Amino acid sequence: MPQKDIDSLLSEDRRFPPPASFRSGARIGSMEEYEKMYRDSVENREEFWAAVADKLHWFRKWDEVLRWEAPKAEWFVGGKTNLSYNCLDVHLKTWRRNKAAIIWEGEPGETRILTYQALHREVCHFANVLKRLGVKQGEPVILYMPMVPELAIAMLACARIGAPHSIIFGGFSAASIRDRVNDAKARVVITADGGWRRGEVVPLKETVDKAVDECPTIEQVVVLRRTGREIAFHPERDHWWHEIIEAVDADCPAEPLDAEHPLYILYTSGSTGKPKGVLHTTGGYMVGTYATSRWVFDLKEEDTYWCTADIGWVTGHSYVVYGILANGATTVMYEGAPNWPEADRFWSIVEKHGVTIFYTAPTAIRAFIKWGEQWPDRHDLSSLRLLGTVGEPINPEAWIWYHTVIGKKRCPIVDTWWQTETGTIMISPLPGATSTRPGSATLPLPGVVPEIVDHDGRPVEKGKGGFLVIREPWPAMLRTIYGDDERYKTQYWSTVKDAYFTGDGARRDDDDFYWLMGRVDDVINIAGHRLGTMEVESALVSHPKVAEAAVVGKPDEIRGEVIAAFVTVESGVETGADLEKELKDHVVEEIGAIARPSDLRFTDALPKTRSGKIMRRLLRDIAAGRESAGDTTTLEDESILKRLREKKP
């Protein structure tokens, strides 16, 4: 547990009630309705979630809604279901079979539309490919792909046969793939010859080949032809997607799976050097994503919904694919960069496809602001009816810009808080019910029981900052860290007794609205993506010229935070611009471009306590250019701070 309570300095009093026109047609149209739902979800938890689950398809109904012995949860015990079936097959029995399930746009400009019927056929085809490769129930499959429909097809195919997928973001390096594959002990990787990003090809297959050289369990690699570029091909191991799919048919009934059957493993950075595989299971996650998509996004049959997240992150799992398709909605996917070929690409897509719900990250919004209003002003955005944010707290002025320039003051904004571990949105406005305030995630969703506590685990008074915990189980919660139950218990359930520790700071105002204040540990939030400092430090220290490194987050106007690295080198090594570039490139090679330090400073020593612990709090102050107000009496050598401050980035 962090040893200091959190000061809260943000004050924001502007309020924005739901427009009457939105409220009148909303699924949840008043605070009274929300409050009744919330009370019911807390006081009659099992009956509440059973009623939600009843709206989905089950091959066999559950015997118990919840079996809970902290920190172990089992939801819909004894129930048999399949999330792929609920995303696809249930809609084939209705008019939705000819409705667009996925609208996809590639960065070069091509468009594909897959109806529910067509998507079902593609998923069944690929599920049979997986079976042909010998993939069994419970066996993890690695997906490392661009943002193309085949990524969604592959994950739904895995879910169909009960093979948990583990998707690795297409920007990660070979070393990152290697670590995740070896932890999961996977036999099969699904990838592509490449993907498009800012007009350049991202060489996915080359990266996979480099990783697989150090992955003894990998036996099969399926390669999608996306770019047509020449790649190394190993006939004894590699298969072209378009060739192997010709060897199977499109008849693949969905497997009835236990509600607690593993659905996916998603690796996220930890505070140690080893990435942790967050494990989600089938039934509870299905119910949670279905319900929250419906409540938060107020999904209607006629909506065209676009979440701009890559499927390699949890937002893409829950709110590009599973939650949206389970509701029978139309989801938009885009492959490339938001400013390619120009800074209006997102707004071009909104106009072209008539997007009604737009869900993106504050870091993207800050970039839009920097690029200027002239870009969205070129386009007709009148189709939009709801806006959302995800990934990190949004600063109030960015919220106001989003509301005014993109939403034209008529679209509610849902500022959502949740995590890879929670699986679904936990705190968010309901757009037809909640009067929003810029910068606040507002109120917990039904079934979510949060609390803000001090470093002793005691509730703090309103207006005070503290540590956000969740007191009661919820259906989509992570079940464990893959292969490491002890780490799961220690990391999430040992800090505050009988509560899930989120690692985030927060405060609650007089109206019980929640204001998120960012991470309280040594995890840096870069553009909504969490990276452990230990991973970046390990990458730097693995370079032969580096003796020691400490990494902290540094405030950034666009991305929220960037990485600042403080490096000491081996004796006799010359420092300078060439070595700085070499080390930054080395981090990219080891982890990926997202982890490239923006600010790298060489130093003869790091600020440490007498026991040898690096005082990262002081380094954060130095990186941000502010004076350190905290206690420095435990420092072994206080003169180090002066020397560090004199070294400008």
Q: What is the mean pLDDT of each run of 10 residues along the chain (649 residues)?
A: 48 85 96 98 98 98 97 97 98 97 98 98 98 98 98 98 96 90 97 95 96 96 97 96 96 98 88 78 98 98 97 95 98 95 97 98 86 95 97 83 97 97 98 95 98 92 91 98 95 93 91 85 68 74 84 86 90 91 92 89 78 72 78 61 72
Strand 188-192 with 220-224, pairing? parallel
Report the length, in residues, of the chain.
649
Contacts of 500 (CB under 8 A, 6+ apart): 71, 421, 469, 470, 471, 477, 492, 493
Question: Residue 120 and residue 127: Cα distance in Å, rounded?
Answer: 10
Res 331: pLDDT: 98
Q: How high is the pLDDT of residue 220?
A: 98
pLDDT at 574: 92
Rounded to whole angstroms, the Cα distance separating 60 from 81 reads: 7
Cα–Cα distance measured from residue 649 to residue 639, given in angstroms and rounded to the nearest whole number: 19
End-to-end CA distance of the chain: 32
Say which amino acid occupies 9. L
pLDDT at 544: 86
**CA–CA separation, 99 vs 407, rounded Å?**
27
Residue 347, token pair as written in the block: 């707004």
Class of domain 20-82+264-517: alpha beta
The answer to whether the Cα torsion of 92, 93, 94, 98 is positive or negative is positive
pLDDT, position 647: 64
**What is the C-alpha R_g of the chain?**
24
Write b or e for each residue in 264-284: b if 16 or more Cβ atoms lie within 10 A of its Cβ, otherwise e.
Answer: bbbbbbbeebbbbbbbbbbbb
| Helical axes 282-296 vs 45-53, angle rounded to 10° | 90
**What pLDDT sits at residue 629?**
56
Percent helix, strand, coil in the chain (nearest 5)? Answer: 35, 25, 45
pLDDT at 594: 86
Pick the CATH number of 85-255 from 3.40.50.12780, 3.40.50.720, 2.102.10.10, 3.20.20.70: 3.40.50.12780
Reported pTM: 0.85
**In the chain, which residues fall in CATH 3.40.50.12780?**
20-82+264-517, 85-255
Q: Which CATH class is domain 523-646?
A: alpha beta
Residue 97 in tokens: 């079979």
CA 610 to chain centre: 38
Parts of the chain belonging to CATH 3.30.300.30: 523-646
Quickly count: other Cβ atoms within 10 Å of residue 594's Cβ.
18
CB 447 within 8 A of CB 475: yes
